[in-house]
Homo-oligomer: A and B are copies of this chain.
Amino acid sequence: MARKRVKLQRILNDAQRRATFKKRLKGLTKKATELATLCGVEMCLIVYGEGAVEATEVWPSVPEATSVLERFKAMPDLDR
């Protein structure tokens, strides 16, 4: 989305993939914050990096995400 479009496939270069991950994760969480604020909803986001390269990320925080997950787990299958 800038000087050049990026192909929609896994970035092979490790350093560049990490850099892109960091930038886009920031953008994604910002959007998530805006959506939660504007629409008055609760939400959580969990990202699993591959091995030790990208760390696992939990948003907005581990306790809040856990709370949301408990509600999801407790929800009857029919409602899912």
Residues of A within 8 A of B (CB): 6, 8-11, 17, 20-21, 24-25, 27-28, 31-32, 34-35, 37-50, 54, 56, 58, 62, 65, 68-69, 71-73, 75, 79-80
Contacts and interface: CB of A to CB of B under 8 A. Distances in A.
A76 B27 CA distance: 28
Oligomer copy total: 2
A54 B39 contact: yes
B35 A62 contact: no
30 contacts: A8-B34, A8-B38, A9-B38, A10-B37, A10-B38, A10-B40, A17-B38, A17-B40, A20-B39, A21-B39, A24-B31, A24-B38, A25-B35, A28-B32, A28-B35, A32-B45, A39-B54, A41-B47, A41-B50, A41-B54, A43-B45, A44-B45, A44-B46, A46-B69, A48-B68, A56-B75, A56-B79, A58-B72, A58-B80, A65-B72
